Amino acid sequence: MNRPTILVTGATGKTGAAVVAQLRAKDARVRALVRGPGPRAEHLRSLGAEVVVGDLFDPAQVERALRGVTRLYFCPPWHPHRLQSAVVVAEAAQQARVELIVGLSQWLASPAHPSLASRQNWLVDRLFDMVPGAAHVTVNPGFFADNYLTLLGMAAQFGVLPMPLGAGRNAPPSNEDIARVVVGALLEPDRHAGHAYRPTGPRLLSADDIARIMGEVLGRRVRHVEMPLWMFMKALRVLGPRLGIDAFQQSGLRHYIAEHQRGAFEVGAPTDHVRLVAGVEPEEFATIARRYLGRPEVRRTAANVVRALRDLVLIAVTPATRLDRFERLQQHPAAASPELAVASARWASEHGVGGLDPVLTAAE
């Protein structure tokens, strides 16, 4: 029997690259869609993936990428027009008679969320449900472990984790565990078709817990500093270009921080979905953090200390991006009556929550 060809979009990204690597480790036939040539694309080719260059917003290029493909992983771009990319993929998938679409969505996806990305994720989920002949699996993780670990360098230099996380807890999943759920669904479509999975870490952690674990991994004491949101947004404007967080991502992240503070990510967590789909236990936060120790900014050097001090000075004198003005200038559509997911009766209903304060069962 011929092996199916699986297309992975966003193949050089955090989950996309992990999906390609895990599929190739299982000897799956993989076609990796990338935006352009470069070292990351060459690495995918070295793993045995077929690498194709294409624009996810271009129908002709996506149609070419999907020729001969029977299953695909859609990793949406962090872009204000991600819904357009999904429509392009849905149309091309129908033409190619794709049998399975595994889509990366979001735990917070809801139709009235103040974040445009979250509203679009909600629409994309429904769009893929309507593609004729294609089964759909939704993977909707919450706040990734990676979101905390982008500040591991700050923790290494100064012993602090400065994030406005409030009292909310989270069971943060690794990029690799999210990929394991995606891969499990891609390789066993009959078992997973029509399901929604929310990969999480194995246990709920507070901000203090996360800081403590960072300290254990770094070999120094790290404490959580509950900085105000306005200061955090100033920091994102300074550090964003280095971290790959542009103004559009910032406009959503401010709302996700508010969700974190109000406990949205601890509702129903942790789940057993990594074990259920991939057959392995989810990774502990310490295990995930150790993979980041090799990053240059985590080394405790004089140069890194000087750079971190310079960043602190710039953060103090740099105003935050005027995100409401940014959204108006970009003509982003707005919800008539925006509401955070954790305060939304519709979100609660769609996620199996019998009210605004209940806990989901371990498996949806």
pLDDT tens string 36-89 = 888 999 999 999 999 999 999 999 999 999 999 999 999 999 999 999 999 999
Collapsing DSSP states into helix, strand and coil, what is residue 326?
helix
What pTM was estimated for this model as a whole? Answer: 0.93
| Other C-beta atoms lying within 10 Å of the C-beta of residue 279 | 9
Cα–Cα separations (whole angstroms), residue 285 to 14, 180, 209, 216, 362 = 17, 16, 10, 11, 19
Tokens 């493909």 sit on residue: 69
Q: Which fold has domain 146-170+204-263+294-342?
A: UDP-galactose 4-epimerase; domain 1 (3.90.25)
CA distance 98 to 291: 35
How do the domains of the chain map onto residue ranges?
Answer: 5-145+172-197, 146-170+204-263+294-342
Residues 6+ apart with CB under 8 A from 320: 230, 233, 234, 236, 237
* Res 185 pLDDT > 70: yes
Q: What is the rounded average pLDDT for all residues in the chain? A: 93
Tokens 């090799």 sit on residue: 294
- The pLDDT value recorded for residue 107 is 96
- The pLDDT value recorded for residue 2 is 72
CA distance 121 to 67: 25
Q: What is the average per-residue pLDDT within 328-346?
A: 92
* Res 303 pLDDT > 50: yes
Choose among 255, 270, 257, 286: nearest CA to 168. 257
Contact 162, 151 (CB under 8 A): yes
- The pLDDT value recorded for residue 359 is 33
Residues 6+ apart with CB under 8 A from 162: 151, 154, 225, 227, 232, 235
- The pLDDT value recorded for residue 84 is 96
Is domain 5-145+172-197 annotated with CATH 3.50.50.60?
A: no
Q: What is the average per-residue pLDDT within 278-304?
A: 95
- The pLDDT value recorded for residue 226 is 96
Collapsing DSSP states into helix, strand and coil, what is residue 52?
strand
CA distance 315 to 322: 15
At residue 354 the predicted structure's pLDDT band, cuts being 50, 70 and 90, is low
At residue 243 the predicted structure's pLDDT band, cuts being 50, 70 and 90, is confident
* Res 362 pLDDT > 80: no
What percent of the chain stands above pLDDT 90? 91
List pLDDT tens digits, range 258-280. Answer: 999 999 999 999 999 999 999 99
Q: Kindly report which listed range (23-32, 118-127, 244-253, 344-353) carries the lowest average pLDDT score.
A: 344-353
DSSP state of 172: P
Q: What is the average per-residue pLDDT within 196-202?
A: 97
* Res 170 pLDDT > 90: yes
